[in-house]
């Protein structure tokens, strides 16, 4: 009988060893992290479709499954609460503050990346350091500013204060991304008679779209989920945002409505999930370039 080639056994053994190593060091850790990261969202969605009876009184119900699905928790938000108004307020505030932060971030980031002036590096470091200042310290002086301008309990109180922590990060990120754009292209445009602003608008900005989108997603996410400033500067139910409205209006005394809270959390997470699902590639590319070059 012909003996099997030893090299064949070696190849099969190496493939089996590679498969085991990949299972142990890639798939199992990946599965573990997916479960840890996604389980809170699963719990949130499952809870939002349960009835109050199943949540509080049915001891035999499986906590990980829905026995009697219902849309009652969602209907409560739209019919018996100001959730629609909270959503409108959140969209207006998030879009406005993001637009302001992007405009300032693009101009400041381009200037720090391209224009050579004394103290540019120190100014760039100072701008980023301001982002590291905790919001719990900034709201004290900002509260006096908001009160003096009579903006308390209005969307403008947040639209004008959110950029205080959005602009520094957007500037730092875009400064790093503008450095990845070949400077020779702008120099050629300047030689042909284009102004500095036109060179930025027609050449640098189109090439920096991934960085701009990344900064926009980051700013929009922070504005949408921000809690401290919204809690301090807004008091009436009609002026609140989703994070504040859900936690303050749906928690009554010592009996929080978990189904309604989870339904509000699910609806409040949808815009962010949609934004990241479509723009995640630009987000990663912008952060990578900004972190490397910044």
Q: What does the pLDDT look like over 62-105, one tens digit per residue?
A: 778 888 888 988 999 998 889 999 999 999 999 999 999 999 99
Q: Count CB atoms within 10 A of the CB of residue 163.
A: 23
CA distance 198 to 190: 9
pLDDT digits (tens, 9 = 90+) for 120-137: 778 777 877 777 778 777
Residue 277: pLDDT band with limits 50, 70, 90: confident
CA distance 262 to 260: 5
Instruction: Report the pLDDT value the prediction gives residue 291, as an integer from 0 to 100.
Output: 46
CA distance 167 to 126: 12
CATH for the stretch 81-257+267-293: 1.10.3720.10
Q: Mean pLDDT, to the nearest integer, of 3-29?
A: 68
* Percent of the residues in the chain that have a pLDDT greater than 90, as a whole number: 23
Q: Mean pLDDT, to the nearest integer, of 16-28?
A: 77
pLDDT mean across residues, the chain:
83
- For the chain, give the secondary structure using H, E and C: CCCCCHHHHHHHHHHHHHHHHHHHHHHHHHHHHHHHHHHHHHHHHHHHCCCHHHHHCCCCCCCCCCCCCCCHHHHHHHHHCCHHHHHHHHHHHHHHHHHHHHHHHHHHHHHHHHCCCCCHHHHHHHHHHHHCCCHHHHHHHHHHHHHHCCCCCCHHHHHCCCHHHHHHHHHHHHHHHHCCCCHHHHHHHHHCCCCHHHHHHHHHHHHCHHHHHHHHHHHHHHHHHCCHHHHHHCCCHHHCCHHHHHHHHCEECCEECHHHHHHHHHHHHHHHHHHHHHHHHHHHHHHHHHHHHC
Residue 259: pLDDT band with limits 50, 70, 90: confident
The answer to whether the Cα torsion of 37, 43, 45, 46 is positive or negative is: positive
What's the full length of the chain, in residues? Answer: 294
Enumerate the domain spans of the chain: 9-48, 81-257+267-293
Considering the entire predicted model, what is its pTM?
Answer: 0.82
CA distance 290 to 275: 20
b/e 45-61 (16+ beta carbons within 10 angstroms → b): ebbbbbbbebbeeeeeb
CB 212 within 8 A of CB 106: yes
CA distance 100 to 219: 10
C-alpha distances out from residue 56 to 1, 52, 92, 261, Å: 73, 6, 36, 14
> Which residues, 6+ apart, have CB-to-CB distance to 98 below 8 Å?
166, 216, 219, 220, 223
Residue 292: pLDDT band with limits 50, 70, 90: very low
CA distance 28 to 44: 24
Instruction: Report the pLDDT value the prediction gives residue 34, as an integer from 0 to 100.
Output: 87
pLDDT at 111 over 80: yes
């Amino acid at each position: 009988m012909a003996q099997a080639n030893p090299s064949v056994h070696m190849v099969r053994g190496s493939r089996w060893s590679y498969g085991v190593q990949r299972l142990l060091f890639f798939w199992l850790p990946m599965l573990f992290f997916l479960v840890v990261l996604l389980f809170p969202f699963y719990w949130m969605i499952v809870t939002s479709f349960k009835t109050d009876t199943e949540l509080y009184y049915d001891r035999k119900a499986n906590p990980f499954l829905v026995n009697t699905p219902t849309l009652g928790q969602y209907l409560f938000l739209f019919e018996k609460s100001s959730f629609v108004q909270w959503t409108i307020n959140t969209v207006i505030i998030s879009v406005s503050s993001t637009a302001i932060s992007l405009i300032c971030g693009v101009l400041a980031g381009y200037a720090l990346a391209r224009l050579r002036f004394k103290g540019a590096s120190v100014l760039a470091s100072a701008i980023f350091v301001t982002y590291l200042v905790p919001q719990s310290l900034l709201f004290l002086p900002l509260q006096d500013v908001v009160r003096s301008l009579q903006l308390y309990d209005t969307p403008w109180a947040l639209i004008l204060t959110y950029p205080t922590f959005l602009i520094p990060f957007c500037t730092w990120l875009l400064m790093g991304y503008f450095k990845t754009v070949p400077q020779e292209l702008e120099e050629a445009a300047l030689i042909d008679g284009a102004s500095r602003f036109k060179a930025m608008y027609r050449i640098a900005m189109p090439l920096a779209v991934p960085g701009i989108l990344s900064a926009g997603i980051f700013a929009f996410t922070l504005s949408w989920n921000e809690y401290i400033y919204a809690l301090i500067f807004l008091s009436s139910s009609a002026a609140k945002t989703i994070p504040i409205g859900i936690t303050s209006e749906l928690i009554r005394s010592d009996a929080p409505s978990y189904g309604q809270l989870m339904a509000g959390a699910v609806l409040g997470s949808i815009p962010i999930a949609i934004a990241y699902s479509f723009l995640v590639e630009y987000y990663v590319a912008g952060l990578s370039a900004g972190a490397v070059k910044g």
